[in-house]
């Protein structure tokens, strides 16, 4: 099977051979869901590109493993994203999957008390960052041989049902659903499968307040059930490991007793 030119800037060529390890890029890989998922894929023998703003947490996740590639990157910056994805493509030779996971929240408040800059930052990271990373992955997947790959977007259960005072975060996650559906349709021509995982109450540092008490729709402050974050990595692994042509368009993985069903 012949190889095709992938990156005009670098003037490298790459193709996927049958003996090559599968490759994934994970954004937001320095902490939380991203770090846990990265460790799951590394343990399974995948080549993993680790994207995040700070190099130290990425290096901690990589732990010196030869199948890990640390890629410090600002997902809101087009040039930074393109450079990171190009480096991964040149290093690993091909790209099988992207887990579009990087995201932030905004402290809950009524909309008239929300800081506009916080809104813009949330949109830049959660939505524009996902767009830029999907765009960079798409470019590689479309030009590699064999053509194709898989993009998995982190939607969150907030893509379906909001929490109180969460307009910026919820708006971006609803938009991720639109991005997922559109790219899933457009990807058919290039053997690129696109799906979304909606995660509910995975126990990370960000989710620890849920174990103490968070605002509910009725105004009460109550603790919520959580689940081991490792279950997310296993779910993403299932989605990523399917043969191209078979796609999980939407998956929800959540703490069973959390207030999601019946919340929205």
Dist. CA 171–CA 13, nearest whole Å:
40
What element of type H or E holds 27?
strand 23-27
* Catalytic residue (choose from 70, 169, 176, 180): 169
What element of type H or E holds 61?
helix 55-62
Q: Active-site residue 13, yes or no?
A: no
What is the radius of gyration, based on Cα positions, of the chain? Answer: 18
Among candidate residues 173, 167, 168, the one with its CA nearest the CA of residue 153: 173
Which active-site residues does the annotation give? 169
């Amino acid at each position: 099977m012949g190889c095709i030119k992938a990156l005009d800037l670098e003037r490298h060529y790459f193709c996927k051979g049958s003996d090559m390890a599968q490759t994934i890029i994970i954004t937001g890989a320095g902490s939380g869901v991203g770090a846990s998922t990265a460790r799951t894929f590394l343990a399974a023998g995948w080549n993993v590109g680790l994207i995040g703003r700070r190099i130290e947490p990425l290096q901690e996740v990589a732990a010196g493993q030869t199948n890990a590639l640390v890629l410090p990157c600002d997902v809101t910056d087009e040039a930074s994203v393109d450079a990171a994805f190009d480096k991964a493509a040149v290093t690993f030779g091909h790209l099988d999957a992207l887990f579009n996971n990087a995201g932030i929240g905004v402290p809950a408040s009524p909309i008239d008390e929300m800081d506009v800059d916080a809104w813009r930052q949330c949109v830049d990271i959660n939505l524009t960052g996902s767009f830029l990373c999907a765009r960079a992955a798409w470019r590689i997947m479309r030009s590699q041989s064999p053509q194709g790959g898989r993009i998995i977007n982190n939607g969150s259960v907030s893509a379906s049902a909001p929490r109180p005072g969460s307009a910026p975060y919820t708006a971006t996650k609803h938009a991720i659903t639109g991005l997922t559906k559109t790219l899933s349709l457009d990807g058919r021509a290039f053997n690129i499968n696109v799906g979304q995982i909606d995660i509910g109450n995975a126990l990370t540092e960000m989710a620890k307040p849920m174990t103490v008490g968070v605002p509910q729709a009725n105004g009460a402050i109550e603790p919520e059930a959580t689940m081991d974050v490792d279950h997310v990595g296993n779910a993403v692994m299932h989605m990523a490991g399917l043969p191209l042509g078979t796609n999980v368009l939407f998956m929800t993985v959540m703490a069973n007793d959390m207030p999601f069903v019946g919340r929205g």
